[in-house]
Structure 1
């Protein structure tokens, strides 16, 4: 097995390492079926690397590791190894060198201070834990793990009508409950200051208690929007919902609110599945439509 791709950048006083777990481009096509190549061709700025040469979407599963001051924060922890993802076979029983990649990137998982999950879908919590001797153990044993209160309460009981119900129930048992059982979980409100310039704010719709993270890195700021958007096409078309969104109207309202907040500002923006350059600026084109311009940092 080989090491995973890593991307390093610096935004203000923050050092950021992205660990790219896997390519999910083909999977995203089924989740954003309205984002066809013909639609992509109508968006003047939609070019590689966010689409392929045939204008099909590109997307990844990845996590962000942020060093700022004395803090080392992991945001969204991908799918993970050995996981059971009923009905989502492309993600099941992965065997990837994620932990070795962390080590090779100079990241001591025992030194991670914080783990934040924007929501509790299985592809954002997987590396919360790893399996050893038949047990699920926290991957970051000295960290505070942050879960949104409302998100956790909903995930605890699940929704049997949800297409992801069985996969989510398994994920809760494998990737969330072991962290809670170890006493590492911190349940937070959807608008919470975590100190050192790190804060979260409410961004619901994709899930009931979805949050986004904002980091004030001194000379620059950035926002990681989790799954508020899955691809930059939703910048151009914020009313385009993902088929697994909990509430389409609410996810659309969240995108409009985010884009309005970011429009013309120097705050860099990304979401968990945006391929590199993942961070970019939000502006408007002459017609008033939102644009995403990737920035290499």
Structure 2
């Protein structure tokens, strides 16, 4: 478990799993770009042998006397075409409780988007049924994103790695009466606001935190690796609208520089986050300072 503080807000990570030693070549970044940025990429975002790691993790945020869960990972016991995610059995709930928060203590659950690794633990399997993991929470689903994945919706398009996710992780929440379908911009608490960040999926969103004159953005999959902020056209994995994704990254860079905000994407390993700054003519994603804790085995 790791912890980050922003103003009066406490942010803790809950790791589900990690994919380590992925070749940086997966980003299709030319060697010259890697070399030009090696000084700040290493050791957190560029590891031995020019590899990098992806964490699959949840954020547990406490602010304004509320507990907010951001992006509850993939979940146990679910079939998946990618072997690393197939029928996971991880101690996620035990790690979650190690934050000092129990599932029943959660006030809000927010999924930046509805890919399997960002909404799976919305539910868990009990007695053959998928039931809400956080029974007292309101689940905040951006309407545009919900409609993109609703099999009966006009915007639905099947994606093999997301097969069955709606039925297991979204529909049971709606049927339990715990879902709030919200607009692209939605105020959650005085310190928290959902904002549009389209591209990776049609309704992808991010969560903005402002506390005691400090800012942080939970950006989901706006980017998977910091080089995508330096070169926004770099793409990793699937994308609903690449042009929108590139524009969203450009807007995030401009805003991050202007506001000196902490940027917390979904998948970075410790210290999980960073701030954009200029070093002469060079754009740098500087690893967050002040994060505490470590990554479990």
1:65/1:74 contact within 8 Å kept: yes
2:157 to 156, 159, 170: 159
Q: More deviation in 166-175 or 34-43? A: 34-43
Q: Which runs of 4+ in 1 moved over 3 A?
A: 25-30, 35-39
Q: More deviation in 185-194 or 258-267? A: 258-267
Partner of 1:175: helix, strand, or coil? helix
Aligned pairs (5 A) from 1:81-230: 81-85=76-80, 87-157=81-151, 158-160=156-158, 165-230=159-224
Q: Which runs of 5+ in 1 are unaligned?
A: 1-5
**Partner of 2:61 in structure 1?**
66
1:36/1:56 contact within 8 Å kept: no
- Aligned CA RMSD, in angstroms, stands at 1.8
2:64/2:191 contact within 8 Å kept: no
- The structure-2 alpha-carbon separation of the partners of 1:204 and 1:26, relative to structure 1 and needing over 3 Å to count, comes to farther
Q: More deviation in 71-80 or 276-285? A: 276-285
1:37/1:55 contact within 8 Å kept: no
**Partner of 2:294 in structure 1?**
none
Partner of 2:169: helix, strand, or coil? helix
> Take 1:278 and 1:217, find their aligned partners in 2: how far apart are those partners?
19
> Take 1:36 and 1:135, find their aligned partners in 2: how far apart are those partners?
48
Total equivalences in the alignment: 285
- The structure-2 alpha-carbon separation of the partners of 1:91 and 1:229, relative to structure 1 and needing over 3 Å to count, comes to same
**1:74, distance to aligned residue in structure 2 (A):** 0.4
2:6 pairs with 1:11: yes
**1:37, distance to aligned residue in structure 2 (A):** 6.6
Q: Which runs of 5+ in 2 are unaligned?
A: 291-297
1:80 to 63, 75, 79: 75
Structure 1 length normalisation: TM-score? Answer: 0.90
> Take 2:35 and 2:28, find their aligned partners in 1: how far apart are those partners?
13
Q: Between Structure 1 and Structure 2, which shows a larger proportion of strand residues?
A: 2
Structure 2 length normalisation: TM-score? Answer: 0.90
**Partner of 1:296 in structure 2?**
289
Q: More deviation in 46-55 or 33-42? A: 33-42
- The structure-2 alpha-carbon separation of the partners of 1:7 and 1:118, relative to structure 1 and needing over 3 Å to count, comes to same
- The structure-2 alpha-carbon separation of the partners of 1:27 and 1:78, relative to structure 1 and needing over 3 Å to count, comes to farther
**1:187, distance to aligned residue in structure 2 (A):** 0.8
2:51 pairs with 1:53: no
1:109/1:139 contact within 8 Å kept: yes
**1:275, distance to aligned residue in structure 2 (A):** 1.4
Cα deviations by residue, 1:65-89 (Å, 9 ceiling, x for unpaired): 000121100000111101122x222
2:231 to 231, 237, 249: 237
Partner of 1:216: helix, strand, or coil? strand
Partner of 2:249: helix, strand, or coil? helix
> Take 1:11 and 1:21, find their aligned partners in 2: how far apart are those partners?
23
Structure ranking higher on relative contact order (CA contacts 8 Å, 6+ apart): 2
**Partner of 1:3 in structure 2?**
none
> Take 2:23 and 2:116, find their aligned partners in 1: how far apart are those partners?
15
**1:28, distance to aligned residue in structure 2 (A):** 8.1
> Take 1:94 and 1:37, find their aligned partners in 2: how far apart are those partners?
35
> Take 1:91 and 1:265, find their aligned partners in 2: how far apart are those partners?
37
